[in-house]
Structure formats: C-alpha cells, structure tokens
Structure 1
Amino acid sequence: MKSENTVTELNRRQALTLLGGAGSAAMLAGCQDVGDDGDDDSSTLHVQLGGSLDSLDPQLAGLRNTQVVVNRVVEKLFEPDIEMEMEPVLAEGYELTDDGGSVIIQLRDGVMFHPPYEREMVAEDVVYNFDRVSDPDTGSPRQDNFDNLEDWYAEGDYELRIDFEEPEAALEATLANTGMHVLSPDALEEEGDASSHPVGTGPFVFEEWVTRDHIHLVAHDDYRVDGVPGVEEVYFRPIEEPATAITEIQEGEIEMLHDVPLDNAGQLEDDDDIQVQFVEAPDLRFRMMVNASDNEIDGRAPGAPTQSQNIRQAIAEAINQPDFVEIAAGGHADVGQTVYPEDNVWGVDYQPFSVEADPDRAQELIEESDFDAPVELTMISASDEDDLRTLGQLAQDQLNDAGFEVNLEEMEVASWVERLNAFEWDITPNHGSHSPDPALKRFERMFWTDEENVPYYESPDSNADRVFEIFEEDSSELSQDERYELYAEFQRLLCDDAVYLICCHPQNAHALRTYVEDFEIHPMDMYFPIHNARLEQ
C-alpha cells in the first residue's frame, strides 16, 4: 500500500496538447474557469469523487470509486448502456452452440492496449485475464464470476470460446460484471499487478495517482472511436466532505461532482451556473440487512431474535420509508420494498409491509414470536459513511418506538466490514448496487453457500431453500417472460422473509458546470460516461 501523498507516475505521453505537463500543477493550484483571463483550461476536466480508492486494479479492488475511475481506462467484453441494455465493447458479437453449453464470442480487431505496452488485443489476452481472476492464488473477490464457466480458450486471434457448466441465462451480464476487465498481460507480467498502474484499452490512459489527492488520466490517442474522448485530460479528486465539494464546483475549482449529496442537491439546483442531472438508478438502494442466520459461528449467539421471521417482519413494519426518502435521500428517491424498483424491467408491484411505520402491527408480530418486548437488537453502522450513519440513526429511532431496544454501535468502515463478515450483528444499514440481471445476485455475500462462507440468509422459518432453487432453475433455455416470473417469485420470497429490507430506491445524481457539454448521466454510477464530456470553448 502506498503511503499518503506518495506519487505513482508512469510513462507520460511524449506530447500532451494544450496544458500537457503543467496539468498537475494547475490542478493543485486551483483550476481556472473557462472564460477567465490567462491560460485556457478547456481541455482539462476536474471531477470530484466522494471517497478515496483502495487500488487501481479492477480485478482486485473492493471500493466502488476504483470502478468509477478504472472503467474508462480498462474495458470489458460487454457493458450496460444508458438504457440498461447490454452492448458489446471489446466483443463484436457472439453465437451460442445449439445446446447452449458453449458460446463463441467474436472480438473486435484493431483494439490497442495503451502505451508503453501498445499492441493489438487478441483472444489470448482475454484468456490470460480470465485465468488471473479465477485463480484462487490471485485473491480476487470476483472469482465467483466463473462459477458457471467450465473452460475458456482462444480459437484464433479474434474468437473466444467459453464452455459452461450449465447453460448460462445471463451471459452478457456475467461478462459485464465487475472484475471481468481485460488488462494488458504484458503490463501485468512486468508490473506484477495493476494496483498502481492499470493498462487497458479504454478511452483514457492512466497517468498518475497521488494518493488522497488526485488521479490523472490522459486521452488515448489510438482509441478506436473517432472523437472520443472529448477532453485531453481528467483529474479525479477525492473530496468526501459535501460542503467542500459544493463550494469547489460553485467556485469553478472543479467542473463535475460524481457524488452529489442528495440532501444538498437543492442548493446546487438553485445555482444558474450548475446543472444537476438525476436518473432513476436500478443499481442503487438504501437497505437494512437483517441477520437471519442460525449458524453457530463466532459472535453469533444461538436463538438470536432475528432468526425469527415474526421479529424480522416486525422490524419491517417499524421502518418508515418516507423518512428515508426525505432525510437520507433529500426527496430524490422512490419508496419500494422489492429488490428492483417497480418500473425497472425486473420490477415487481409487491409491498407486504406498511410503507409508513405501523408500530402497533410491529408489536403484534413481536407478541406472536417467542420474545418479549422490548426486543434487544445489536445494530452496527459506519461512522465515517454519511449515508450509513444517517440510515442507522433513523432506523434506531423508528425501531425503539415499536417495541425494540436497539444498541447502535458506530465504528469506522474497516471495523464495520470486519464485524459484518463475522456475523456479529442483528441488523445493519447498507447501500449498494443491484445487479443488472438478477441471476448475478447469486454472487452477493448473503447468497454465498460454500463451506467457508455460509450465508446470513439461512434459518428454519425462512424461504431460503426455495430462493436458492430459483438460482438453479434459471437457464438460457427460458424465455425472458419465464425468467421474469422466476425472479418475481424470488423478490416476493425475499421480501416476505424480511432479511433484505429496502428503505428506498435513491436516484443517481451528478452535478456539472453549464459549460460541460455532451454528458448524459448513466443509471449505474460506476459507468460514469466521462469520455463523452466536452468543455465549451
């Protein structure tokens, strides 16, 4: 791990147009607004990130911000577009065998890796990357992407064959999943990993990372799409404090906010020099995770209250969703109780619990259980994550009004993750992304079923057995309507079990100065289409 404010600077292009090598100093001194006297900064874009990065290796990193930056440096075979349709990126097309047991993927020709490892990407490079991610010795958290992939190999330079254990129902979404990036094998062999120097085929080339300060990308001169990217340079700056981020975009120090604090969005909307783009985000949700596990493991006592479905449903009745919409999401969210929003392609109209809190019904469910009120619960939350802290405090107040006594333990996010994985909790707030295809939810932590990772969704009075059967029944042989019905049942069962309590579906939001053109927000914020942005001259 790099120490604070160390510089990782590798292989600058020999010639950058316009600001070129002065870009780093200009950014650190404060960028100029377009139209100010002095040097024109119109080829350089400065973007806020809501937090820091843990690595720049997309196959190993765990933090979302890594994916936001690296997805425009390193590409995958497929990627969801702004309509949430899967589009080929490094792939050109594919054909399934008659039995659905294999697929032959045609790759684009003429795709070039970044300098100094520039050469054409071929099928063997994809094989190398798949081998790397699936190898347990690599330690990638994305190994589960390969659970249903039996083998993969090149059939010539531009054809990749993949054999499946079972016909794969979500082929494109699986190959678009996090970690399925194609890094330069030559760079990996020389550098050892991509944690500080990712080399890919995307519209931007990695230039430098000054930890806790900025990440610098420059345009890929040999990118295959004419006119892309629309700027010569991008600086990503981690700015976690919302007030600081708002001040900097209002003063023109940065041109874009990737992470708009939803409860402060109105302040930005009132500024004539700033536009705020909102979009319904099928990949976002604020939720309460309820530990239903009856596994006797460290930190989890037998007979815990949340092993009872009545208690879990009482928790659901105590949650007041409109409060989460207004307080946690600043009004920019929709209520809903199923995994996907109702108007999503996978959405279901199903709300078995009260939208507004019903403490009386919660207490009735407690009385129907084997526990006496007040029911003691341990809630853990992250003190250094604004969303999680707000979610936890809101839920604690609501639960304490409905027959519970909640001990809220707030801690730094690293400690929270450690406690989460050790099952040392009854309930915890969380936020995160949905999978574009529900078949990929089998990769989420709560559904892991191997011996080393028992799921917390497992108790005698739950529907867990049927939920896991649904994953097994899904197949490429099913029609889209049949798959929809299967995963509609999945969502209703999950909702009834009250282990995955959706508080609200927040919108995705980005803010940009009005002279930023041709940028259109993506529903999934990790696919930040910064490569399309241009600055008005």
Structure 2
Amino acid sequence: MRQLRMISPLSYRGGFHTKALLYETLVKRDDEARLAPGLAESWQYEDHGRSLRLRLRAHAKWHDARPVHAKDVVVHFRRWLQLPEHAWLRACSEIAAVEAPSPHEVLLRLRRPAAVLPELTAINPCAIRGPGSLDREGEFVHPVGSGPWRLLSMEEDHYRYQRVADGQRIDLVPFPRQDSQELLRALGRGEIDAFISSWDDPAPGPAARAAAEDPKLQLISTAGTSLQYVSFLLHDGPSSDPKVRAAIRDAVDRAAMIEALEDGLAEPCTAWAAPSLPCSPKAAGQSPAPRPVPAALAGCQLRILCGHSQNRAYQIAQLLAAQLGDAGFEVELKALEGNAYRRALQRQEWDLRIERSWGLPYDPFITSVSRFQAPTAEASAASKRHHSLDPELEKLTRELLQAVSESEQEALYTKIQARIDQAALLLPLYAPRRFAICRSGISGIRLPLDPYQLDLDKLARR
C-alpha cells in the first residue's frame, strides 16, 4: 500500500514519468514554454484578477470510463490545498475557495490578484486524480487519471501501462543512472528497448558515443531546460563583495566544463533561464572567454561547498575550484555528507555552492519565486534554501507573483536578469541536454521541452 501511494500526485515519491503518463494538470507548458491546455481547455481571469475560471476539456473521461466532472477537480484541489507539505506553492495561500459552478467549469477564488496558473503546471500535487482513486474512507487505493496511459499493474519498481487510444502496452522501469556500460548491454540484449532521461540525469557519456556509431542504436537529444549554476553567500565573507562575485563570474570557462562533464551535451548559459526557454533574456553561446583575477583580488580565499554524494555537483565543484585556482583565487573545496553538509549550510560555512534549477515547467516562474523569495513559514516538501536574499530580487518576484499575464511575467524576467547581471548575484553555468537512447526498431519517442513529460503517443516497434 505504501508503494501504491507513491504514485499519487499528492506524494513526492515515485518519480515524475510514472505519473505524467497517468494524470493531467489543468494547464501545462508547451514546446514554446507557453501555458497550454491540459485537462482544462480554456481559462480566464475575472474580477480584476481575483478569480480564475477554467473550463474543462469537452468529453474528458477518467480511466474507469466515468466522465470528468468539475466536482472531481474541486475535491482534489481542496485536499492538496489543506496539506502543509504543498505550501511551497504560493497558490496554497492565494486560493481562498474552489468551486464548481457547472459540470465543466472550475472557479478559483483568490484572496488578491495572483499569478496562480504557472504553479498549476506542477505534477506534484496539481495533477488531477479521479474519484475512482479513493475508497469510501478517502484512502488512495488505485491510480485513476485522465492521461493518455492507464496503469495495469505495479510490482516494486516495475510499472505496466496501457495506451488508452489503442491498447498498446509498455513497461516502465528505473535504470541505474551512472552505469552507461550496463545500459548499452541491456539495450544490446533486448532487455530494454529505450532509455529516456529525466530532468536531472547526467550526460550518457560513452553510451551516447556508442549509440551514434552503432547502427542498432539511435540517440535522440534535445535542448534541456534545467540550469546548473553557482549561488553565493551574499551578506558575509568575500562573496558579499560584488567585485569578487564579478571576478568569479569572469574566470569561469563554461565550454571546458561542458566538454569535461557533459560530453558536449549541454548549452552554455549566462542567464537565469536555460537558452531553450523563449523567455530567456540571453541566447545560447554567449559565454565569454575566461579572464584572470584582477591583481587587487589575487589570493582571495573562497570556500566551495558541495555534497560528496551529489556526483555531478561534486564534479562541477572540483572543476570550478581548479578554474578559480588557475585564475588567481585560493580555493577550499568542502565536500561533506549528511548532517555535516546540513550543518555547514545552516552555519553558512561557505562562499559558493553548486545548485541546479528544476527546469520547465518550474523554470522560470516557480523556481524564481522559490529562489528569490523568503521561504514560507510552513514546513513543506521544498528543500530549505540556506542563503541570503537580495532585497531588489525579492521586490521583483513579489511583483511576479501578482503578474497574471505572460507578457507581464516576461517583462519581469528581463528585470530580474538585469538585477542579477548588475550585482553578479548568481553564476549560471550551463543547461544539460535531455536525451534518449533506443534500439533502432523503436520509433515514436518524442522528447518534449518539459523534461517531466513523456510523449509516447506514437510509440511503436517497426
């Protein structure tokens, strides 16, 4: 039963792809990163931004063949809005009431004008589960959604799905991230037909090169939307000096990082949004050549903090330390585990740390709010951010939370980027690409811009 609950959208366990096939959010992000219809086919703000009316897709049905009713959505919303672990979404505090004025309309009444639509793209907890998911006591007993695939069975980490449109079946299983040779062997033996990366998988390395050379394999790659970046301790130590932060920014060699760590499968980035996102204020490739530290800052001591078990973050930290050392800084790499790492964060015994943004649909709206606003008072599923905040970025993201139109939001993204550039508040590094490796007889795998989604509508074996 515990494992079954992991596949509920109200759980933060169980993986994203397992749920993205089953459930739909009311709205989602398309391949232009724009808000697009999901279970809701249209929407509009009313009452000067204090209400949001969403019309559900005509003839939508749950996997148990029952028609989707607005009351089903209301029940799901009222449940997740009351759970404190979801308070990291600001919509929890902005939505005052959820109503079903008609069988096909959902009305969200807001406490004030608020941009809640971008947050409704989050699979956990906003993907809608049908009433057939619950027993009479309200316990989650079976995943029933409205997505393109239904779940047939689940044993440990083995999920069997059936495509609603034509009955095609697939098995979805997790695969060890770091073992590229075993991945090649499993593909060669026919044990798996395809490997599809998630939002934070490392580059496939040797497997990618082998797939490009092996006629029995094919490599599918598309631009990624999550961002590897460096955050600074802004209010204390050497990183509180904008001149030091600017010198660190200017000393980084992004191209060398991408080649060494991602096998070239990444785009350099100097903006607080991946180059693949149309709202990104800067295009890919704008990565200046590294420069040495100004003489006045030579020998400045820096501490880079990372978790040793976080393999990619640790590798980035190692290479960053080497680059900054070559440029003229004195660098201490603090690779810690468990409680020691958490204590170092809380005591702010660091100057730089390696982080990764969540990617679309969280970037740039949800990630910006989480990164630049003080955390909510309630304990939630979002990890705590142990860093100081910039007052100007806090002000801009407060405006972002009230900007209900996408054009207003994009104008604020530009202002946020200008502030980051002005004071060197963050150091963007690169956006890893998303990839899939599959056997040559497999077709119909498409990698959406949203890395949490799987598009297998045309999946087939030739």
**With structure 1 as the length reference, what TM-score do the two structures score?**
0.73
Partner of 1:164: 110
1:532 aligned counterpart, secondary structure: coil
Q: Pick closer, same or farther for the CA change 1:381–1:93 going to 2, 3 Å.
A: same
Distance in structure 1 (CA, Å) of the matches to 2:461 and 2:137: 35
Deviation (angstroms), 1:182: 0.8
Deviation (angstroms), 1:72: 0.7
Deviation (angstroms), 1:375: 0.8
Deviation (angstroms), 1:316: 1.9
Farther-moved stretch of structure 1 (331-340 vs 77-86): 77-86
Distance in structure 2 (CA, Å) of the matches to 1:191 and 1:233: 32
Deviation (angstroms), 1:134: 1.8
Deviation (angstroms), 1:128: 1.8
Indicate which of 175, 182, 185 corresponds to 2:120. 175
2:218 aligned counterpart, secondary structure: strand
Indicate which of 224, 238, 241 corresponds to 2:175. 238
Distance in structure 1 (CA, Å) of the matches to 2:194 and 2:96: 43
2:414 aligned counterpart, secondary structure: helix
Match for 1:130: what amino acid?
Answer: F
| Rg comparison, structure with higher value | 1
Partner of 1:325: 258
Match for 1:271: what amino acid?
Answer: D
Gaps of 5+ in 1: 3-7, 11-53, 295-302, 368-372
- Indicate the percent of aligned positions where both proteins have the same amino acid: 18
8 A Cα contact 2:152 2:162, kept in partner? no
Mapping of residues 72-83 of structure 1, within 5 Å: 72-83=21-32
Distance in structure 2 (CA, Å) of the matches to 1:183 and 1:275: 35
Deviation (angstroms), 1:398: 1.7
Distance in structure 2 (CA, Å) of the matches to 1:162 and 1:287: 36
1:155 aligned counterpart, secondary structure: strand
Partner of 1:198: 143
1:130 matches 2:130: no
Match for 1:314: what amino acid?
Answer: A
8 A Cα contact 1:60 1:142, kept in partner? no
Indicate which of 333, 355, 359 corresponds to 1:434. 359
> Which whole-Å deviations, capped at 9, do the CAs of 1:464-506 have from their partners, x for residues lacking one?
22222222334556672x5433211201212444343211122
Distance in structure 2 (CA, Å) of the matches to 1:189 and 1:312: 55
1:237 aligned counterpart, secondary structure: coil
Distance in structure 1 (CA, Å) of the matches to 2:60 and 2:343: 41
Distance in structure 2 (CA, Å) of the matches to 1:424 and 1:66: 33
Distance in structure 1 (CA, Å) of the matches to 2:344 and 2:300: 24
1:535 matches 2:454: no
Mapping of residues 221-370 of structure 1, within 5 Å: 223=164, 226-227=165-166, 231-240=168-177, 241-259=179-197, 261-264=203-206, 265-281=208-224, 283-292=225-234, 294=235, 303-342=236-275, 344-349=277-282, 355-361=288-294, 364=296, 366=297
Distance in structure 1 (CA, Å) of the matches to 2:314 and 2:184: 21
1:524 aligned counterpart, secondary structure: coil
Deviation (angstroms), 1:444: 2.1
Match for 2:181: what amino acid?
Answer: A
Gaps of 5+ in 2: none
Partner of 2:420: 494
Match for 2:249: what amino acid?
Answer: A
> Which whole-Å deviations, capped at 9, do the CAs of 1:227-249 have from their partners, x for residues lacking one?
4x7x3132323322222112212
**With structure 2 as the length reference, what TM-score do the two structures score?**
0.84
Match for 2:218: what amino acid?
Answer: Q
> Which whole-Å deviations, capped at 9, do the CAs of 1:269-297 have from their partners, x for residues lacking one?
1111222111122x2222122232x4xxx
> Which whole-Å deviations, capped at 9, do the CAs of 1:79-135 have from their partners, x for residues lacking one?
2233434321211222332523212211134433335xx633311221222222221
Q: Pick closer, same or farther for the CA change 1:419–1:248 going to 2, 3 Å.
A: farther
Distance in structure 2 (CA, Å) of the matches to 1:199 and 1:247: 35
Farther-moved stretch of structure 1 (269-278 vs 161-170): 161-170
Match for 2:108: what amino acid?
Answer: I
8 A Cα contact 2:373 2:397, kept in partner? no
Distance in structure 2 (CA, Å) of the matches to 1:354 and 1:235: 38
1:389 matches 2:389: no
1:57 matches 2:8: yes
Q: How many residues align?
A: 447
8 A Cα contact 1:381 1:392, kept in partner? no
Partner of 2:101: 155
Q: Pick closer, same or farther for the CA change 1:515–1:421 going to 2, 3 Å.
A: farther
Deviation (angstroms), 1:70: 0.8
